[in-house]
Amino acid sequence: MGFPKNFVWGVASSSYQVEGAWNRDGKGLSVWDTYVHEPGHIQNQDTGDTACDQYGHIKEDIALMAEMQIKAYRFSISWPRVMPEGTGRINQKGLDYYDRLTDQLLENGITPYITLFHWDLPYQLYTKGGWMNRDITDYFAAYAETVVNRLSDRVKYWITENEPQCYIGAALASGEHAPGLKLGKKELFLAAHHSLLAHGKAVEAIRSCAKQASVIGYAPASWHLWSPVTEKAEDIEACRKMTFDAGEEPIGGTSWWLDPVCLGRYPDTTGYSYEAYIPDTTAEDMKIISQPIDFIGMNVYQTYRGKAGENGTCITIPNDPGYARTNAEWPVTPEALYWGPKFYEERYHKKLYITENGLSNQDWIFLDGQVHDLQRIDFLHRYLYQLKRAVEEGISVEGYFHWTLTDNFEWTSGYNNRFGLVYTDFKNQNRIIKDSGKWYRQVIETNGEIIK
């Protein structure tokens, strides 16, 4: 049976990780622009100042996508490139860049999928309280309206926000990401609520301003995912329950970010130690947060493995000694692309896209001038086999976006993790399609028939 004929095969990126041009043509500062310039935050003192310089290499990168037969490109808009202070003044040169990117994608038969926010919060809004300031929800809606007014005559597919677990949790709780804060629980839950409210207001803005019928999604991280070690009913149910349990760290989980959006309510937190810190919410807020969306974007790299314990609780099974892992130390668990979509569709009844999946590796140029990354091919083959299984069982996965097109700036690890199908030489910005990129082209050309 295989993948449906209209299955979308794409690649993904984010503005700060690929664009560079951090202070060109009127762009304002983001929290990442300031964070990376403070010592001690990023490995090797790397920055995204230049990254892959996609800002200056649009034509080349789109030509590479066309050569690889890529059908869709998921990219994000830099909020401070469009609105340097985050609100008010619009930078036309910033919008012009995304105009060019959109037009050139379409000229090459590549469908744009736009993410409005992928972590690069305008620094000026951070100084006003950032996600703790409720006004940010209106600022975000106004920003969304600005972008949609400019691009929606050509762009149909929109994603409001990417991985709030990172820009709220890792950025404001653990302090590992920009702006590097460690807030108390009360402030953290308030910021999380504002993030969800901003999502809902952005959905409203897209629906009201778009110049064509829009398809709107939301892409939290799919980390909080358990897969059963057997297909016994009790093991499946235990892992399903664990996947959506609020847990002791709900900001990093799944249900905290998707239950309000898809079910109109926060998950049950009865008895958890943080319950007293959760802000009161109004019915009006929840109505906005739960504005109907068309799909859920799943960013999936790994899964925990579990089985049923006493009273149906889930027991997490530790990884075997010497387990397969990526360069980022993430376990290689292909079943994530079967059980993840299965559990999500059963709970939320939404169409799904795999909006991120891929392998971090230590790739280099061989003596023959090529990049031979057999491990990435094997990784992708294993994961796509499990996704194919899900699709063949009728789970409504609409497309797959590989993370990422080119090697890029990987946040706190700098340039130490290479995720790309295309090798980037960060000294001279030369690109080389890796063996995995050539293999992915075969996947696309056969619509996944080579996945067996």
Q: Is 411 annotated as a binding residue?
A: yes
Cα–Cα distance for residue pair 131/412, rounded to 1 Å: 21
DSSP state at residue 6: T
301 has binding-site annotation? yes
For residue 410, say whether it is annotated as part of any ligand binding site.
Answer: yes
Listed in sequence order, the residues at least 6 apart from 433 whose beta carbon sits closer than 8 Å to its beta carbon are 64, 67, 68, 371, 421, 422, 423
Burial class (CB in 10 A: 0-12, 13-18, 19+), 349: exposed
Q: Is 403 labelled a binding residue?
A: yes
Burial bucket for residue 134 (CB in 10 Å: 0-12, 13-18, 19+): middle
Query: Which of 19, 145, 335, 356 does the annotation list as catalytic?
Result: 356
Q: Strand, coil or helix: what is 51? A: coil
Q: CA-based Rg of the chain, rounded to a whole angstrom?
A: 21
Output the CA angle 96-433-368, nearest 5 degrees.
140
The rounded distance, in Å, linking the Cα atoms of 48 and 55 is 12
The DSSP code sequence of 340-360 is HHHHHHHHH--EEEEEE----
Alpha-carbon distances, residue 105 vs 63, 69, 100, 117, 146 (angstroms): 9, 12, 8, 20, 20
Q: Are strands 295-299 and 215-219 parallel, antiparallel or unpaired?
A: parallel
Task: Evaluate the omega torsion of the peptide bond into residue 122 and state whether it is cis, within 30 degrees of 0.
Answer: no
335 counts as catalytic: no
Active-site hit among 163, 335, 345, 398: 163
- Residues belonging to the chain: 452
Backbone phi, psi, residue 51, to 5°: 50, -125
Q: Is 356 annotated in the active site?
A: yes
Structure tokens at 293: 């969306």
CA atoms of 237 and 241, how far apart (whole Å): 6
**Helix/strand number for the chain, H first, E second:** 16, 13
Report which of 309, 324, 319 is spatially closest to residue 383, judged by C-alpha positions: 324
Answer yes or no: is 92 a known binding residue. Answer: no
d(CA 15, CA 19): 5
Task: State the alpha helices, DSSP H only, in 393-450.
Answer: 435-445
Alpha carbons 306 and 343: distance in angstroms, whole number: 14
Binding-site residue numbers are 17, 118, 162, 301, 403, 410-411
Active site amino acids: 163, 356
- Annotated binding site for substrate, which residues? 17, 118, 162, 301, 403, 410-411
